[in-house]
Structure 1
Amino acid sequence: NSAWMFAICFPAALRDPMAMERANLLNMAKLSIKGLIESALSFGRTLDSDYPPLQQFFVVMEHCLKHGLRVKKSFLGFNKSLWGPLELVEKLCPEAAEISASVRDLPGLKTPLGRARAWLRLALMQKRLADYLRLLITRKDLLSDFYENSALMLEEEGAVIVGLLVGLNVIDANLCVKGEDLDSQVGVIDFSMYLKNDIDDYRSEERYTSILDQKNYVEELNRQLKKLQELAIAKNNIIKLQEENQQLRSENTLILLKTQQHLELTQGDVSVERDTYKQSRQGLDEMYNEVRRQLKEECQLRQDVENELVVQVSMKQEMELAMKLLEKDIHEKQDTLIGLRQQLDEVKAINVEMYQKMQSSDEEMKKKNDVISRLEEKTNQITATMKQLEQRLQEAERHRTSAEEGTRRFKLDFANKADSLQRQIEHRENQQLETDLKIEREWRQTLQNDLHRERDSVAQLSTEALQINGLKKEFHRLQDENVQLKTICEDQEKALEELGSKLSESKLKIEDIKEANKALQGGQVWLKDKEATHCKLCEKEFSISRRKHHCRNCGEIFCNSCSDNELPLPASPKPVRVCDTCHALLLQRCSSNPT
């Protein structure tokens, strides 16, 4: 109905089909954006690429951006490039450069239309589609190169659609651009979903009939526009072919005139040259024979020079190949030397660290030995004091028993002599005895307290003795580890010495390898070092101590023990390294063919 209201308010627009198209596209954009926002709010604001209203939104936006797009000529014919105006956004907004670069890097896109569709999807996921298109419609001077004057992007409807796109920022789109076939999709607007929504909202026949009329009008208008575009393209092709045909006809007439004049001139020249030819034929025959002989000689010399040049070129190629192989071998040797130096530095660092650990362990052992000696002295002192305390305890027990025996005897004597002794003396003696007994009991209590303290100190010393025993075990374990580390260091030093000797030998033999490589330009192709992990003969695995060596005869890789023979080869008069198999084979050949 908005289209009909637009027609009532602006009757001049009925006569302008472009204005009607803009109004229809604006209405479709409103319906599409409204449906997307409502569905996003009801489905949790997250929409996938399989959601039909989201697909229809991209189709509607594609039609809006294509409206009034100029037809451009290319090698393949006439087409409408939608990717051209969208590329301008990268210049207007540097933030859009990331999207444009991502679209260009997608491997599955082959057409500008597919790139434009991918750009729209990425901009919607970035929630910057409205911002980018707003920047684009503000630069009408740049858009005029791509759109006609009455296009939607240059009119007010384009600004309205861009304002509606701001509401899509509440949507979280989850799209996979790589998985879609964006080049071959057909952008057809499906009116059924929008018609269904309007019928459910209003439930009126008039609304339904008006929307159907609008749909039929839009479809008919699209068909007419497609026919007009096809007719315009066909007319342009016909005019172009007619111009080319006229141009070819004019060129043909000029060529015919020129050929006729040339034939007339050549006929006169042929008659004159025929007379002169008859006169000079005799001298020309002799000159022809002489020139022919010289030509044969020159051809023969040229053939010889070309053959020699081919030989020189082949020799040069062989020399370049040999130099490349030699450089590669030298680089590999240098890499191995660098790796061995790094390993040597690592081993040195490990030795320094082990030496530091050994020194720290020695210092700790000295400290622990001092602690053990002090603890032993303390234990000896404690045992001596314990013995003294035990002796004092025994003496106190003897005094106590003697005092008890004396008191018992005294009581017996006191009972027997009670009548004869006076009360006062008895009382004094009892007090004296009680005081003595009290003193004895206090002394006994103090001795018992001292005994408990000594027992506690003995228990503490026993725990310390157990700790000392643990420290002794730890000390013995550290001594064993120290011995093992020393043995490991000695083995590593021996291995490093062997590696140093091998490296020195390899440095001395680099020149021999260079000469052997120069001599073996046409010989056997060497096997690459990376392809060999075991010796060809003894099948032992290569390592830092077991190096790789090439046989100069067969090109295979062997260890040092299986290739320590040297013999002169046909390509190298100087003795070079060969494996045991080739050594025996060459000796057998020399014995069978002494010449």
Structure 2
Amino acid sequence: MNMAKLSIKGLIESALNLGRTLDSDYAPLQQFFVVMEHCLKHGLKSKKTFLGQNKSFWGPLELVEKLTPEAGEITASVKDLPGLKTPLGRGRAWLRLALMQKKLSDYMKTIINRKDLLSEFYEPNALMMEEEGAVIAGLLVGLNVIDANLCMKGEDLDSQVGVIDFSMYLKDGAHGSKSTEGDGQITAILDQKNYVEELNRHLSASVNNLQAKVDALEKSNTKLTEELAVANNRIITLQEELERVKEEGSYLVESNRKDVEKELEVQIGMKQEMELSMKMLEKDICEKHDALVELRQQLDEMRILNHELSIKSQSSEASGKQKSDIISRLEEKTNQMGHIIKQQCKNCSGVFCENCMANELPLPSSINPEHLCDACYSQLMQQYASSPS
């Protein structure tokens, strides 16, 4: 805490005496960054990584972007710097950019006021968690009178060793004891003047910001009033349309109700007709079913009769075939007998035989029965015996 006070006071005094823009090689400025680095590291929680434990104040500084959107420019610039590889280097670059922007005090106050967020990174007894942190943030306001132009492209911020040079402050203390009382008064007046000017600048900036917010709120209020009036008109219009729609809906409901009643009556009539038609159809189906059953019975009887006729026909064909065979055999036998008779008739004169075969009866008187063969004679006797005359 004391080193921070000495560092900030010494930097302001030396910068005012120098009267020019400070650069990266200015020793008091370098020592100021070293002291701020030690303040930010005090009570910092260790985070275990793959390479071991790591303590970096880059994490708390990244919170500023979430709490103050205008700090996003610094964070983006730090991430875009090509030479930075470690969180420690990014934190050092952030401090330098915030000092050049003359916003370091504002940003520190922002994160110190949010101890609920800082508790994730710091122990309860850390400098940033105690009242001393707010004191340091207040002392940083005086640095806004300093103009710094720092080039970080060629500077190795990752591997710098932050060691506080106490001899610088011891020399300052000895020189201060030898200085005259008048110089001390002048310095005190200048410090007060610069502090008041810086405080006035902050108040003016705050007033401007508040005025801008008031203007924005007035514009927003005017816009909201206009939108409210438009919304009220729209509500009135919608209410009128709603009433009209209700009236139209009532008319349509009544009209639809009548149409539905008529349609219902028609549907009931059609249903009754359909039920009557169904009953007639069922009756017709029953009658046709009975007729079909009767036809099936007749068909079965016809099949049985046809089967019997087929059997009888087959029997008749077999009997006819047997009779044909018998007739054929009889004809064959008759032919054979006729042939035999012809052979036998050759022994007689032949006259009687021809007349006998022609059934020319009685015999002519010129024929002598003794001249006939036995067969002709026997046939002649049979014919005479059977003849009624």
Scaled to the shorter chain, the TM-score interval is 0.3 to 0.5
State TM-score, norm by structure 1.
0.30
Give the alignment's TM-score, normalised by structure 2: 0.45
Structure showing greater Rg: 2
